[in-house]
Amino acid sequence: MHHFVRDEGHHHHGNTLPEYEEGNHDIPEGQYTSNESVGAAMWTYVLVTMLAFGIMFPIGLIMGLARHRYFIPMQIVAAATAVVGMVFGLTHGGRRYSPNNIALIWGWCLMVLAGIQVFFAVFLQIPLRTREGELEENSVLRRYPFFYRVRNVLSKCLLVLACFLPIASWVQFGFIFITMFGWCHEDHLGQCLAHGIMGSSFIAYGCILTIMLLLGEAWLQRRNVSQEFYDSTIIMLWGIVNTFTEHRWGQPWSHGDYQHTSMGIIWWCAGLVGILLSRKRWVAGSPPMRNHIPSIVLMFTGYAMSEHAQHLEVSTKVHAFFGWALILAGLTRIIEISFVLKDGPSKLAVAKAWQFLPPFLLVESGICFMGATEEQMAYLNDAGIDHSSYLLTLSSAAFLVYFLFLSLIMLYKYLSGTQLTSRDSHRGQHVPLATEEEELGLNDEEADKFEIDDEEDPSEGSSSGRRDDGFELSLLRGK
């Protein structure tokens, strides 16, 4: 982490890109931004960057996973949009910022990752076959079979990059925010990290629950475990980390140390119970058992946060709202498991309205926690903004984040052509789609030659109807 601003008593404004002129004469001592207003060029940079990395690149990822032929054009358009945004950022006026700020450094990293991703995607589009579906007689693939293996490795690298880029973009959006206000320096750095990491974890948890609700039940059934097995495993591991990292060893124990360490302890203790209960039922042949342990952990954590006394009244109320959002997330999850699903698995074709409440409340709690740092609360207090107005704004952001994520999932379902029959929904299976050999247009002899079917028999298919390397196939079709 590099330079952010810390002075909580000042209303700092800032920007995500560097000041390239030598010296920072306009920046007062002890601050990291100057006192001018943020210019239109910088706001344009922020909006265009959010459009490119928050919407367009994720849509490109979904197109790749769904094997859509416009995956490459979308990636190129997204990269071009990001470059336009960078131009606005580099030519901005108004507020000055400390050089080498974290948003600048991470922003350039994003641009490099985006460039590598586009290069890999375009390189992997070298045609492998003719329009008639046959491999070209003089194609690189026929002359150099090793080239196929290179493409295979590069396509997997592209998949990793495409999945990592939205996560890195989310981190950049946080850096943009704190850099614009000049927060998270010196003594405030640790608290900013804690709020950012923990809040993002709750948001990710809500998004993963939504994915499992709409797409993942067949995956769970193949592994003969319930959703709570993975929830409890993550809770246990996270609790172990918190137990030994929240207190600086050798230093006196503080109120916050006791609170956060105790939460870490209850997480790994409860996680052990959740893992045991969710692995399998005690009756042979029965499906994996659902349990309420992760939900109870959420409720205990929410209670602790809601009772966490703060120095400012607005901070106390925001923390209380965050805590109650977590409590409601745990409570609605319990109702979902026991009363909506009656301890059974989700049905992919018949998701209930109630099942969307726990994921949203987790996103809500994560956004509220990310927006509850000491400097943010001091800014609200100095500006005279009451907690209700602020919480409505944070809730609006939570709705937008959840809307974007739901839209991406629905876009994937639409583009992939995945259909469920009533029978398949009870079996937790998708209708089988094309095999890998059909995607590549290879006959049996060519498939054996290039060892495409060495992992599984394509005639059997997979229970999901799509191979795990479907993203790779979209790149090898040559469309």
CB atoms within 10 A of CB 132: 6
Q: What is the pLDDT of residue 60?
A: 94
More confident residue, 340 or 124: 340
Q: Is residue 128 very low, low, confident or very high in pLDDT (cuts 50, 70, 90)?
A: low
Pick from 196-205, 303-312, 432-441: least confident:
432-441
Contact 202, 195 (CB under 8 A): no
Specify the DSSP class assigned to residue 10: S
Contact 18, 107 (CB under 8 A): no
Q: What is the pLDDT of residue 92?
A: 67
Q: How many CA atoms lie within 13 A of 455 on its CB side?
A: 9
d(CA 304, CA 300): 6
Q: What is the pLDDT of residue 256?
A: 78
More confident residue, 408 or 217: 408
Q: What is the pLDDT of residue 139?
A: 58
CB atoms within 10 A of CB 418: 17
pLDDT tens digits, one per residue of 223-272: 888 999 999 999 999 999 989 888 777 788 888 788 889 999 999 999 99
Q: What is the pLDDT of residue 77?
A: 96
Residue 404 has pLDDT above 60, yes or no: yes
pLDDT tens digits, one per residue of 383-394: 999 999 999 999
Q: What is the pLDDT of residue 140?
A: 57
d(CA 361, CA 395): 10
Q: What are phi and psi of 101, to 5 degrees?
A: -70, 160
d(CA 131, CA 233): 49
pLDDT tens digits, one per residue of 161-170: 999 999 999 9
pLDDT tens digits, one per residue of 411-428: 999 998 764 444 444 444
Q: What is the pLDDT of residue 348?
A: 64
Residue 32 has pLDDT above 80, yes or no: no
pLDDT tens digits, one per residue of 34-68: 677 777 888 899 999 999 999 999 999 999 999 89
Evaluated on CA atoms 158, 164, 168, 169, the torsion sign reads: positive
d(CA 167, CA 388): 30
Q: What is the pLDDT of residue 218?
A: 84
Residue 445 has pLDDT above 90, yes or no: no
Residue 326 has pLDDT above 50, yes or no: yes
Residue 464 has pLDDT above 70, yes or no: no
Q: What is the pLDDT of residue 122?
A: 87
Averaged pLDDT score across all residues of the chain: 80
More confident residue, 213 or 249: 213
Q: What is the pLDDT of residue 142?
A: 60
Radius of gyration of the chain (CA): 25
Q: What are phi and psi of 291, to 5 degrees?
A: -150, 170
Q: What is the pLDDT of residue 248?
A: 76
pLDDT tens digits, one per residue of 348-383: 667 899 999 999 999 999 999 999 999 999 999 999
Q: Is residue 69 very low, low, confident or very high in pLDDT (cuts 50, 70, 90)?
A: confident
Q: Is residue 472 very low, low, confident or very high in pLDDT (cuts 50, 70, 90)?
A: very low
d(CA 136, CA 142): 8
Q: What is the pLDDT of residue 283?
A: 57
Which range, 92-101, 135-144, 197-206, 430-439, is most confident? 197-206
More confident residue, 419 or 206: 206
